[in-house]
Amino acid sequence: MKRILQSLLLLLVLLGIGAGIYQKLQPAPSVSPEPTVTAAADAVASAPVRSERVTVTYFTSDVRCISCKKIEALTRETLNERFADALADGALVFETHNIDRPENKHYVEDYELSFKTVIIAKESADPKQVRWQRMDDVWTYLNEPESFKDYLDAGIREVLPKTI
Phi and psi angles of residue 26, each rounded to the nearest 5 degrees, phi first: -75, 145
pLDDT of residue 55: 93
CB atoms under 10 Å from CB of 73, counted, come to 12
pLDDT tens per residue, range 53-104: 899 999 999 988 999 999 999 999 999 999 999 999 899 999 999 999 999 8
Q: Can you give the pLDDT at residue 152?
A: 96
Q: What is the CA radius of gyration of the chain?
A: 22
Burial 80-114 (b: 16+ CB within 10 A, else e): eebbeebbebbbbbbbbbbbeeeeeeebeeebeee
Residue 149 has pLDDT above 50, yes or no: yes
Domain boundaries, the chain: 41-159
Fold (topology level) of 41-159:
Glutaredoxin (3.40.30)
Of 78, 84, 81, 89, whose CA–CA distance to 120 is shortest?
A: 78
Which is nearest to 66 in space by CA: 139, 149, 155?
139
What is the rounded average pLDDT for all residues in the chain? 79
